[in-house]
């Protein structure tokens, strides 16, 4: 497999899960401003949507969108811990992925689309805080160690990557103790450390 990524972008979640399932894969860095790969290829010719992640499963067979890529990769976990194979457990993973993708991802993305006025920033921060409050409360009300159950999974990887963006936009995560708790557990995983080093995010 081959993962097209940009350092620190949401493709980092796919990178983490690829490390978790311990398969051979290639990484191809994409410049999202020029839409060129590190080898000078036109990224639009690979993924007409123009953004990451894109996962080349076989030559010419490309899968896009985190809500599709993350469950696809997780189901290849040899330990069968990352995602339930069927039933309500799997549906809950997809529910979280959908929420993170359509709500939290979009709320953070406002800050990366160009300069914002102070009024727009205030509204955008408030929206992120509203969504994080919901997530933090949901974790508090759960008896599980992670978002869905007691096993780390793709939704946890995605939440970790999105909330990392708070560092880039000078947003304070300290009010969200339950999110921080999951973040700490995720950050300690070897798969996460490897992915962040490979993308140049940590030494």
What is the per-residue pLDDT across 125-134, written as a single tens digit (0 to 9) for each?
999 999 999 9
Q: Which residue(s) pair with 3 in the sheet?
A: 27, 55
- Which residues of the chain fall below pLDDT 50? none
In tens, the pLDDT along 182-197 reads: 999 999 999 999 999 9
Token pair for residue 1?
Answer: 């497999």
Q: What confidence score (pLDDT) does residue 106 get? A: 97
CA distances from 112 to 32, 105, 121, 153 (A): 12, 11, 11, 27
| Cα–Cα distance list, 41 to 27, 65, 79, 113 (Å) | 14, 21, 36, 24
User: Taking a C-beta distance cutoff of 8 angstroms, is the pair 24, 3 a contact?
Assistant: no
List domains and CATH numbers for the chain.
2-78+191-198 (3.40.30.10), 87-189 (1.20.1050.10)
């Amino acid at each position: 497999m081959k993962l097209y990524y940009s350092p620190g972008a949401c493709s980092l979640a796919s990178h983490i899960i690829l490390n978790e399932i311990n398969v051979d894969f290639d990484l191809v860095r994409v410049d999202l401003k020029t839409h060129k790969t590190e080898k000078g290829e036109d990224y639009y010719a690979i993924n007409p949507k123009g953004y990451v992640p894109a996962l080349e499963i076989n030559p010419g067979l490309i899968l896009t969108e985190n809500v599709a890529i993350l469950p696809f990769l997780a189901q290849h976990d040899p330990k069968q811990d990352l995602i339930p194979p069927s039933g309500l457990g799997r549906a809950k993973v997809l529910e979280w992925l959908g929420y993170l993708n359509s709500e939290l991802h979009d709320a953070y993305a406002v800050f990366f689309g160009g300069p914002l006025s102070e009024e727009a920033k205030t509204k955008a921060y408030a929206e992120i805080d509203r969504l994080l409050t919901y997530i933090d409360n949901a974790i508090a009300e759960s008896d599980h160690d992670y978002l869905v159950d007691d096993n780390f999974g793709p939704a946890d990887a995605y939440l970790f990557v999105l909330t990392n963006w708070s560092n880039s936009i000078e947003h304070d995560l300290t009010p969200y103790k339950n999110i921080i708790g999951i973040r700490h557990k995720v950050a300690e995983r070897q798969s996460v450390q490897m992915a962040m080093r490979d993308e140049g995010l940590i030494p």
